[in-house]
Amino acid sequence: MEDFTKSIVDPESSNVKGSSLDMRTVQFEGCIDEIQNNFLFGNGFAWTSYYRLNFGTHPTMLAFESLIIMVLCNSGFIGLVLWGVMIFKYLKLVNRKIRLASHKSVLYAFMASYIGYSTITGEYGYLKYFLIFYSLIYMQNIKNISKI
């Protein structure tokens, strides 16, 4: 971790690590290497957390800084497909239940911001907070519609 921090802070450092597109490509390739023995199911539930707690930062994936990398490592390609299906189902439910376009837009934007943010930074336990907040917004919209 010291090398990683030094690469950010030290202006003389030539070994800069970060989140460029090239670095993300290297991290994705590292993820594929980690799950090469089990592409379909990955390394198992919460493997990325287990790895970080027991071994620290990964040599190529650092702190598993993308939702896609975390899902692939933990759940494989089947898990990634299931995440996609879950998101699609949420959007379909919103489209079916919410009538006002402005209310749909808020929920779509909220979902898009979560997906974008967690794809860039990883998912570090804030999915539960997102789902609670998303559900509250959704329920408030349903409640408002029933009053009409």
Domain boundaries, the chain: 2-147
pLDDT band at 35 (very low <50, low <70, confident <90, very high): very high
pLDDT band at 148 (very low <50, low <70, confident <90, very high): low
b/e burial code for range 108-144 (CB count within 10 A of at least 16 → b): bebbeebeeebbeebbeeeeeebeeebeebbeebeee
* DSSP 8-state symbol, 14: S
Q: What are phi and psi of 68, to 5 degrees?
A: -60, -45
Q: What is the mean pLDDT of the chain?
A: 80
Rounded average pLDDT over 139-143 = 73
Look at residue 12 in the predicted model and tell me its pLDDT. 57
Rounded average pLDDT over 46-68 = 86
pLDDT exceeds 60 at position 10 = no
Predicted structure pTM score: 0.68
Residue type, 53: L
Let me know the angle formed at the C-alpha of 75 by 70 and 81, rounded to the nearest 5 degrees.
95
49 or 138, which is more confident: 49
Report CA 142 to chain centroid distance, whole Å.
27
Of 112, 132, 131, the residue nearest 120 (C-alpha): 112
Q: Which residues pair with 58 in a beta bridge?
A: 62
The number of beta carbons lying within 10 Å of the beta carbon of residue 49 is: 14
Q: Which residues pair with 62 in a beta bridge?
A: 58
DSSP string computed for 61-98 = TBTT-SHHHHHHHHHHHHHHHHHHHHHHHHHHHHHHH-
pLDDT exceeds 60 at position 17 = no
Find where tokens 């027991």 sit: 54
Look at residue 100 in the predicted model and tell me its pLDDT. 75
pLDDT, tens digit, 9 for 90 and up, residues 79-118: 999 989 998 998 888 888 777 787 788 888 888 888 888 8
